[in-house]
């Protein structure tokens, strides 16, 4: 570590404070210089094992060779003719591929945007046009983005909503089960029945189903704390939507591309959504999102009504086509299950040692640990969570929190992580649980 590197870090940290608004948070204050697989180096040559994966963007890891080659090849051809000015093959091929690999045997189409929030907004646009209805239903603890419409659909007032209103009208948040926090005297089955009943009552007490264009659900809640709904609940929601002509949208932005051990998380629930929003790991770090699903819904808008200047950028499409090859070639679904199990095993070792480890839950490699005061009172322990994450960062492990009460640690490590990287990461994790 040389003095000049150290002062460069400090200089950039100071400039960041001066020139970049504090509204963008930073989990780690060091300056990245290179990254590969599940490892990032900073400009002072410190190494970080990445269990955050740019918030679920890097299922195929940092700078996968196949992705960078596809990107370079595309960069040498052209950067962006603008799909609505002159078409290019990458967009069309990616639409075809997504239609092939997504659930559902009906006629499908796919359309691309830049961010997750933009995909969710556009899923709402087409659902509204298709149904002729206005209302949108999301779920308590859900997260769908930071634009005005998606903020309205999102829970967690602070930091996502406070002072940023007014929000768009006709957005309603329905109940969503949270088994760890069910009343202790209720059995799991009775609790699930109860929440299904509450969900149905919501359409009596809060919004009439015949006014609802779409229900947007994360198959596993991401920012909400990796809350995995019971299969029966997801199926009840899907059936309710069918019965009432409501478009069922699965927001797979954080859960997609093998994170949960299946290509898409909704496949765990034996439910076929009408539309699916995708982003994050779709393009391995390049800004790209999309909607894939029923052609009769997506094709409802007329020319010019959908799209955007950069939507479906060819470089991002090239990366996404490479990602879709990689997930198959490297069997990332199976890898997710193995990785998730290894993280779970380590967490159970920590559970045995620390009374503040409340619950460990996972679907594939979407693993979370809930930190509480003690197992008896289950009180969310945000301070301890922050302490663990801070310690991990100081020791070279990038970790993220989640949950309405900030007391959940979530694991979004690249699915291609090597045994060596994983062992290093888990050792730091263990040291951080003090
Ligand atoms: C489920 C889900 N939907 C939507 C979004 C918003 O995506 P973006 O930040 O790209 O707008 C996110 C981002 O974390 C997400 O996890």
Side by side, the strands of the sheet bearing 400-402 are: 357-363, 366-371, 408-411, 400-402
Query: 82 and 143: one domain?
Result: yes
Contact 145 CB / ligand 1 (< 6 Å): yes
Q: For 307, list phi and psi in degrees, rounded to 5.
A: 125, -155
Query: 343 and 312: one domain?
Result: no
Output the pLDDT for position 327.
Answer: 98
Contact 60 CB / ligand 1 (< 6 Å): no
HSE-CB of 401 using CA atoms within 13 angstroms: 25
Q: What are the start-end ranges of the H helices in 213-331? A: 231-243, 295-298, 314-329
Contact 144 CB / ligand 1 (< 6 Å): yes
Contact 279 CB / ligand 1 (< 6 Å): yes
List, for residues 320-332, the tens digit of each pLDDT value.
999 999 999 999 9
Q: What is the residue range of 252's domain?
A: 67-329
Measured in Å, residue 113 CA sits from the centre of ligand 1 at 13
Query: 216 and 116: one domain?
Result: yes
Query: 222 and 288: one domain?
Result: yes
Provide the 3-class DSSP secondary structure of residue 47.
strand
Query: 192 and 221: one domain?
Result: yes
**Under-70 pLDDT residues of the chain:** 1-6
Query: 297 and 362: one domain?
Result: no
Contact 218 CB / ligand 1 (< 6 Å): yes
Identify the domain boundary among 329, 349, 381.
Answer: 329
Give me the DSSP letters along 357-424: EEEEEEETTEEEEEEBS-TTT--B-HHHHHHHHHHHHHTTEE-EEESTTS-EEEE---TT--HHHHHH
Identify the domain boundary among 284, 299, 329.
Answer: 329
Query: 100 and 243: one domain?
Result: yes
Output the pLDDT for position 279.
Answer: 98
Query: 350 and 225: one domain?
Result: no
Output the pLDDT for position 182.
Answer: 98
Query: 162 and 256: one domain?
Result: yes
Question: How many domains does the chain contain in total?
Answer: 2
Query: 317 and 339: one domain?
Result: no
Output the pLDDT for position 6.
Answer: 62
State the CATH number of the domain containing residue 191. Answer: 3.40.640.10
Output the pLDDT for position 389.
Answer: 98
Q: Indicate which atom in ligand 1 lies nearest the CA of residue 146.
A: 11
Q: Indicate which atom in ligand 1 lies nearest the CA of residue 255.
A: 1
Contact 412 CB / ligand 1 (< 6 Å): no
Output the pLDDT for position 4.
Answer: 54
Query: 210 and 343: one domain?
Result: no
Contact 55 CB / ligand 1 (< 6 Å): yes
Query: 117 and 208: one domain?
Result: yes
Least Cα distance to 135 among 211, 242, 190, 71 occurs for 211
Mutate which of 116, 176, 316 for ligand 1? The one with the most ligand atoms within 8 Å of its CB, which is 116
Least Cα distance to 337 among 251, 434, 415 occurs for 415
Identify the domain boundary among 298, 329, 360.
Answer: 329
Query: CB within 8 A of 234, min separation 6: which ones?
Result: 217, 219, 266, 269, 271
């Amino acid at each position: 570590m040389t003095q000049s590197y150290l002062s460069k870090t400090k200089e950039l940290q100071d400039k960041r404070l001066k020139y970049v608004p504090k509204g963008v948070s930073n989990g780690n204050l060091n300056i990245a210089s290179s990254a590969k697989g599940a490892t990032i180096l900073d400009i002072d040559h410190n190494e970080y094992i990445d269990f955050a994966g740019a918030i679920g963007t890097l299922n195929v890891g940092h700078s996968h060779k196949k992705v960078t080659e596809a990107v370079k090849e595309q960069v040498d051809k052209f950067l962006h003719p603008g799909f609505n000015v002159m078409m290019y093959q990458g967009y069309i091929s990616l639409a075809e591929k997504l239609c092939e690999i997504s659930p559902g045997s009906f006629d499908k189409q796919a359309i691309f945007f830049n961010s997750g929030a933009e995909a969710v907004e556009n899923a709402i646009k087409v659902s509204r046009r298709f149904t002729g209805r206005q209302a949108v239903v999301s779920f308590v603890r859900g997260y769908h983005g930071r634009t005005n419409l998606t903020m309205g659909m999102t829970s967690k007032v602070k930091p996502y909503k406070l002072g940023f209103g007014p929000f768009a009208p006709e957005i309603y948040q329905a109940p969503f089960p949270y088994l760890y926090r069910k009343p202790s005297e209720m059995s799991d089955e009775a609790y699930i029945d109860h929440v299904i009943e509450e969900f149905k009552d919501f359409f009596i007490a809060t919004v009439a189903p015949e006014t609802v264009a779409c229900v947007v659900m994360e198959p596993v809640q991401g920012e909400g704390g990796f809350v995995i709904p019971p299969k029966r609940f997801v199926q009840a929601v899907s059936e309710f939507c069918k019965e009432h002509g409501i478009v069922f949208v699965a927001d797979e932005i954080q859960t997609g591309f093998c994170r949960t051990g299946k290509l898409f998380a909704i496949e765990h629930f034996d439910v076929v959504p009408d539309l699916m929003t995708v982003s994050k790991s779709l393009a391995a770090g390049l800004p790209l999102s999309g909607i894939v699903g029923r052609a009769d819904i997506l094709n409802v808008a007329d020319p010019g009504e959908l799209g955007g200047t950069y939507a479906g950028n060819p470089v991002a499409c090239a990366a996404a086509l490479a990602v879709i090859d990689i997930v198959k070639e490297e069997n990332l679904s199976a890898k997710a299950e193995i990785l998730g199990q290894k993280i779970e095993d380590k967490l159970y070792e920590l559970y045995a040692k620390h009374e503040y480890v409340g619950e460990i839950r996972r679907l594939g490699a979407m693993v979370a640990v809930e930190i509480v005061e003690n197992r008896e009172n289950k009180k969310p322990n945000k301070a301890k969570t922050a302490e663990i994450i801070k310690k991990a960062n100081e020791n070279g492990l990038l970790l993220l929190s989640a949950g309405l009460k900030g007391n959940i640690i979530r694991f979004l490590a690249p699915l291609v992580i090597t045994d060596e990287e994983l062992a290093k990461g888990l050792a730091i994790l263990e040291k951080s649980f003090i």
